[in-house]
Amino acid sequence: MDDLLSDFLTETNESLAELDVALVTLERTPDDAETLSFIFRMVHTIKGTCGFLGLPRLERVAHAGENILGKLRDRTLTVTPAVVSQVLAAIDAIKAIVTTLSTTGAEPPGDDAALIAELNATAANEAPAIESLASQFPSVAANSVPAMQTPGAEGAEATGATPAAVPVAPIATIAPAPAAVENTVPGKAPAAIAAPAPNIPAATQTIRVTVDVLENLMTLVSELVLTRNQLLQLARTQENSAFTVPLQRLSHITSDLQEGVMKTRMQPIGNAWNKLPRLVRDLSHDLGKKIELTMIGTETELDRQVLELIKDPLTHMIRNSGDHGLETPAERRAAGKPETGTIVLNAYHEGGYIILEISDDGRGLAVDRIRAKALSSGLATEPELAAMTDSQIQRFIFRAGLSTAATVSSVSGRGVGMDVVKTNIEKIGGTIDLKSTAGQGTTFTVKIPLTLAIVSALIVEAGKERFAIPQLSVVELVRASRGQDKAGGTGNSVIERINDTPVLRLRNRLLPLVCLTEVLNLGKEDRGENAAHVVVAQVGQQIMGIIVDRVFDTEEIVVKPVAPILRHVTMFSGNTILGDGSVIMILDPNGIARASNVSAGTESKLLRHNVIDAQTTTDKTAMLLFRAGGSQRMAVPLGLVARLEDIPRAKIEMSCGSPVTQYRGKLMPLVAIDGSLDPDRPTQPLLVFAEGDRTMGLMVDEIVDVVEDRLEIELAANRPGLLGTAVIGGQATDVLDTGYWLMQAWEDWFRGAPRKSNADGQKHILLVDDSAFFRQLMIPALGAAGFRVTAVGGAAEALRLRDSGALFDAIVSDIEMPGMDGFEFARTVRAGGPWAKLPLFAMTGHADLQHAEVGHDAGFTDCVAKFEREALVACLRACVTEPVHA
Amino acid sequence: MTTETLDRPAFRPDRPISDTATGVETQVLVTLTVAGQLCGIPVLAVRDILGEQVITRIPLAPPEIAGSLNLRGRIVTAIDLRRRLRLPPAPDGQARMSVVAEQGGELYALLVDSVSEVLSLDASLFERNPPTLEKTWAQFSTGIFRLDGRLLVVLDVVRLLALPGEE
């Protein structure tokens, strides 16, 4: 291809991208003479150059397009969506020809007689009827066009590779064809389309440099950085060396240079967006919806390589928002929203990442439909789904094979969408999340690293070799011991083995472990060495732990591809040279997960873990950690604590043998957890609980910390005043039964209306069922209904709880249970003790009358069929919100 | 680190080595020994000669690959010539040298026992491989030079570096 032609192609591709944007602007502001003449000039230039280069076909199309634009400029023709559609069709035809030109170096055969005839007809103002029709309802325009241009079909067919030359389907086929050409062209910042003013890109001084030159520069700079690091490391060992000062300067210059070269690779994200206004315009015509696209932060820069990689996912997501997210004007009117739906694209920097938000103000994700679809396509079972929160269910759209569009349209709904988007984003180390509110819209948040060339990596050692793990995938580091001896105390995690498969208990989850030495065939794991480190890595949706021997620090590394003969080793994503000059392999957590079956085998398992997480009614709770009663570690939900105080010892007075203090003008009773006061302390830390005008101070030894964690109580409340033990912040922690302590201070704390059993206002339900599965099912269900649930596996356990002084608002019990059955249990409860008057519900598999009668006789308040959750919740609500009749 | 740097234009693998040997009067070879056998590599194919290097092992790599090393900021894949020629491994503690060659834009280091002088040899001393030569050797050799009292095997760098990248 000669230079002249290739210059022309580069130039034209740039112009075409700008043309798309400008035309859409024009459609919105038809009187904008400046934009119009800008468009005219562009097309004119293309036409002129074509004639010069001897490209007759291109010239003819451009000429016809120019004709119309000329008329528009002279105001003999008015700007309507139909006319703009035609000009866009002409530009598509030009694009298609240009694409073929750039690949083959020659114009494709065929002619565009039909298109040209149609353009000329419009130019001659011969189709006013169609035009007025089209302006009424845009999608009609697309249908009316083919009617008047039947002879062109053969010509278009002959071109084959130029789909966009066929005006019959101008919309569906545009996007893919020019994309390939675009990629080779460093574009300019596009016009901000949201602004009504004409925004024709100003000419800045630029020179065109091939990407290869930049890449090469980048490699050289990377090497310079490494050499600099090496030098610095050497210099560190020598004090007062004459090299210190020049070396520092070299270091600075190198950093600046690195930054500068990085900048050359940076491009405004607007470059990836410049196709979107056109896309949205076509979408709105195609779907008969009114869509407005607002783009914020077009100037936000990111690495060229990353930019290329997010283009396609982005396009897909915008399409989705337009097709699935936004409603039709009629639906929007009915919902009391403005007819025009809005899609907002927002980009900004945050840390080393760029955050991209794609939000629409549409109908939001239909949780019910996703749930049904997930069930029907076997992605999850009913109990799993029942235990999931709405947002967990919404995330199913990132799984393969799930499209919620009721009908498959040409735009989307083929069920190959969001999972691909997610995979592509994860491939470049990014993450994607979504937030959706029914009726208000959906927001997708994509977080991607600014650059892929230099990454921060954690250096680890396994089998005497060092490896780098990209920091992006590292969630946390856990120190663990390999041996079974728990000499390290309760705080230390121990790697356990199930038939030689290592696992780790991490915050009440079973974390699948992969031993790096074994995966990499570096010989048997050295089990003699007790200490080990577990690198918890996120691979897509999965979390796994990688056992390594040592962890060094993190280092900025320049990722270099591995030699071709090593490409088949999928465990490595590249290699690099460290500051000390040694070569090190970069591990690919994805590859490790694949090789060790983490991604294949544990997905369902991990899903179940999520279910278990959901058991604890709320996801994470802020917990106040403190020590009291010796050195016990205890926790209380932070929300219950009104204030933390540290009062001087002298201010504690005795009243009727109980400690009190004057607090905010009132006497506040104080309660010590271990029942004793420590007179030697100068001050006394207090947790102050307050409700209404009552306060109470709980004396503790030390306030340790506030942590966010899942409050999942394991049943071990063998002491009054404690709900049980939970793993909080990785350690076993006693959870305070606040209610008990409040009662210690004010016996009638809860008698004040409205009656409350716990300071947090939740009703506390005791669930007795022998089936662990059913308990898992009920805890989140009741939790979601606003109850706090304690579950036990049998009547005997329940009675032990009673004897230990635990209090509940109601009891729900199974009938068929091993040992003491439900009827027996009810009779025992009713026979006396603190629970005798509690509402007592039976759950039965066979909800027949006979059962109900026996149940009643045994003392059950009511019988509810198992699995009828709604009924049970209703019963509970009815009973516990009203005072129980004594 | 670098004992000797031969500043030569990059080796062009498309040029057959035997042609120069038969057509022109001399051929310049870098001589080296591997497991006692004297070998030669056309000097134009050699980018660098390195002394003992720190080599990073690459787990899961084919056995011929000894690891990778850092050559002035470039990562070079080291290939153990003994393994490649199916020879017994080098005795422990023996210092090894590397001959660096380029192929397809990538650098490779051939680990050898020692590198000695650069010889300019008369083409008349060149002979094709005897048909009885063991397959592994015949595969990687373009021919033999008859030296005084010794034979020198000319190694074919292109073939040596053409490791099958297992798919």
Mean pLDDT across A107-127: 75
Cβ A571–B165 below 8 Å, yes or no? no
Ordered DSSP codes for B53-99 = ---B--TTS-TTEEEEEEETTEEEEEEEHHHHTTPPPPPTT---EEE
pLDDT at B14 over 70: no
Mean pLDDT across A665-688: 75
Q: What is the pLDDT of residues A389-438, one digit of tens each?
A: 787 788 787 776 665 554 444 444 444 467 778 877 877 777 888 888 88
Q: How sure is the predictor about A128, in pLDDT bands with cuts at 50, 70 and 90?
A: very low
Residues forming a β-bridge with B31? B40
- The residue in chain A having the minimum alpha-carbon distance to the alpha carbon of residue B60 is A520
pLDDT at B62 over 70: yes
Q: How sure is the predictor about A731, in pLDDT bands with cuts at 50, 70 and 90?
A: confident
Nearest to B70 among A565, A572, A577 (CB): A577
Dihedral sign for Cα atoms in the order A612, A616, A622, A625: negative
Q: What is the pLDDT of residues A3-12, one digit of tens each?
A: 677 777 877 8
Q: How sure is the predictor about A876, in pLDDT bands with cuts at 50, 70 and 90?
A: confident
CA distance A228 to chain B (A): 11
Contacts of A521 in chain B (CB under 8 A): 59-60
Nearest to A577 among B65, B73, B165 (CB): B73
Q: What percent of chain A has pLDDT over 70?
A: 75
**Which pTM was predicted?**
0.46
- What was the pLDDT predicted at A17? 80
Q: What is the pLDDT of residues A297-319, one digit of tens each?
A: 888 888 877 888 888 888 888 88
CA distance A292 to A277: 9
- What was the pLDDT predicted at A693? 66
Cβ B54–A582 below 8 Å, yes or no? yes
Strands (E), A729-876: 731-736, 763-768, 787-792, 810-814, 840-844, 862-865
Q: How sure is the predictor about A275, in pLDDT bands with cuts at 50, 70 and 90?
A: confident
CA distance A533 to A480: 6
Contacts of B61 in chain A (CB under 8 A): 566, 569
- What was the pLDDT predicted at A198? 42
**Residue A64 and residue A123 in contact, taking contact as beta carbons nearer than 8 Å:** yes
B2, B55, B60, best to mutate vs chain A, most A CBs in 10 Å: B60
Q: What percent of chain A has pLDDT over 90?
A: 2
**Residue A398 and residue A392 in contact, taking contact as beta carbons nearer than 8 Å:** no
Contacts of A569 in chain B (CB under 8 A): 58-61
pLDDT at A468 over 90: yes
Cβ A577–B54 below 8 Å, yes or no? no
CA distance B147 to chain A (A): 35
Cβ A563–B67 below 8 Å, yes or no? no
Cβ A520–B59 below 8 Å, yes or no? yes
- What was the pLDDT predicted at A487? 46
pLDDT at B7 over 70: no
A29 burial via Cβ count (<10 Å: 0-12, 13-18, 19+)? middle
CA distance B91 to chain A (A): 21
pLDDT at A336 over 90: no
CA distance B152 to chain A (A): 29
CA distance A119 to chain B (A): 52
Pairwise pLDDT comparison (A383 vs A168), residue with the higher score: A383
- What was the pLDDT predicted at B11? 44
Nearest to B56 among A222, A227, A582 (CB): A582
Cβ B60–A465 below 8 Å, yes or no? no
Rounded to the nearest 10°, the torsion over CA A713, A714, A715, A718 is -80
Q: How sure is the predictor about A149, in pLDDT bands with cuts at 50, 70 and 90?
A: very low
AA identity, residue A38:
F
Q: Enter the DSSP assignment of A198.
A: -
Q: How sure is the predictor about B112, in pLDDT bands with cuts at 50, 70 and 90?
A: very high
A466, A520, A566, A576, best to mutate vs chain B, most B CBs in 10 Å: A566
Q: What is the pLDDT of residues A31-68, one digit of tens each?
A: 777 888 888 878 877 877 777 677 788 888 888 888 88
What is the pLDDT of chain A when averaged over all its residues? 73
pLDDT at A795 over 80: yes
Q: How sure is the predictor about A851, in pLDDT bands with cuts at 50, 70 and 90?
A: low
Q: What is the pLDDT of residues A175-222, one digit of tens each?
A: 333 333 333 334 433 433 333 434 444 456 778 888 788 878 877 887
Q: In B, residues 61-120, which contact A (CB 8 Å cutoff)?
A: 61-62, 65, 67-70, 72-75, 77, 104, 106, 108
